[in-house]
Structure 1
Amino acid sequence: MDLNVIVLTGLAGGSLERLQLARLAEAGFPGLRRSHGYVFQRLIDGSSTVGQLAKALGITQQGASKQVRELEDLGYVGRVPSPADARVRTIELTARGRAAVETAREVQAALEAQVYEAVGPEKLAAAREALTAMLTMTGDAARIPSRSVPLGEV
């Protein structure tokens, strides 16, 4: 394939995301989209209001509400009264949402194992190093620990 590394990275990432979502659907977690993963990332460590999600995702409150509604309809998140103020509803992962996160991690590990089998440990380590360098170059590597990598397209 005679494509540059930037194009290959984008194509491979998109292909693997589609494969992961298909495997999640096969495992009993249908309806998920790439953008839902960003919402999950912000809820793994605790609840959030729609306004907080919108700000963290860099989207409008209406956009965040749409994401939450979709995930709520699918049973992955729920709205609960805030412990600090019962008038405020916070969004949190349901047991089904947490199970989807665990299954996604298992699917990711299986996909990485497939790549490992295809290219071996040295090439996989080199790929990891190159991809990390790209994330560092764009400034996004520093944002990964805080789960604040930009949303991109919704």
Structure 2
Amino acid sequence: MNVNPSIIDLVSLAGGAVDAHVVRALEDAGYDGLRVRHGYVFQRLLVEPTSITRLADALEVSQQAMSKTIAELVDFGYVAASPDPADARRRVLALTDAGRGAVETARQARRSLEDAVTRAVGTGRRDDARTALEALLATLGVGGRVGSRSVPIPAE
């Protein structure tokens, strides 16, 4: 039986495989405990230190879910919570050095994959694929949110 998957099937499969590759690279580099959903929080914290409420709103999850995620990241040492100078009842969240190191490791893992794809298909075809994927993200309503690092965390 010859299966000819659609581009959407291929994107879905590739997304999961890329995520697994990046998580493995993080584990190999000693960044234990990280999961794909943590990356969405990291991306948002790269924009600016912020509160749990703002993170939850930006990533379209409940405050309770975000509080749980932040507690994990603080326990692992990837995020620090400090008192907000404007309101001591509120905590400001920021990436630690370990969190920034994990971001750089994940970026390098993705760069190496993109370099391998570029070698396999050439720059022009890679750029055409990028255009198609940007159109897919726009169709799904998240294309404009990539640049602001506020793509919602996918449901698990």
Q: TM-score range by the shorter chain?
A: over 0.9
- 1:106-128, CA deviations, whole angstroms, 9 ceiling, x for partnerless residues? 11111111111222223212211
Match of 1:55? 57
8 Å contact 1:31–1:74 — kept in the other structure? Answer: yes
1:38 CA drift (Å): 0.9
8 Å contact 2:25–2:105 — kept in the other structure? Answer: no
Alignment match of 2:23 (pick from 18, 21, 24): 21
1:73 CA drift (Å): 1.3
8 Å contact 2:21–2:109 — kept in the other structure? Answer: no
Matches of 2:52 and 2:135 in 1, distance apart? 33
Alignment match of 1:31 (pick from 25, 30, 33): 33
Higher RCO (Cα < 8 Å, 6 or more apart):
2
Alignment match of 2:48 (pick from 41, 46, 64): 46
Match of 1:73? 75
| Structure 2: stretches of 5+ with no match in the other structure | none
Larger displacement relative to structure 2 (133-142 or 57-66): 133-142
1:84 CA drift (Å): 1.1
TM-score by length of 2: 0.92
**What is the one-letter code of the residue matched to 1:7?**
D
1:9 counterpart = 2:46? no
- Cα RMSD of the aligned pairs, angstroms, is 1.4
Name the count of aligned residue pairs: 154
1:152 counterpart = 2:154? yes
Structure 1 residue ranges, 4+ long, deviating more than 4 angstroms after superposition: none
Q: Identity percentage over the alignment?
A: 45
- 1:62-82, CA deviations, whole angstroms, 9 ceiling, x for partnerless residues? 100111011111110011011
TM-score by length of 1: 0.93
Matches of 2:131 and 2:91 in 1, distance apart? 42
1:138 CA drift (Å): 2.0
Match of 2:137? 135
8 Å contact 1:35–1:153 — kept in the other structure? Answer: no
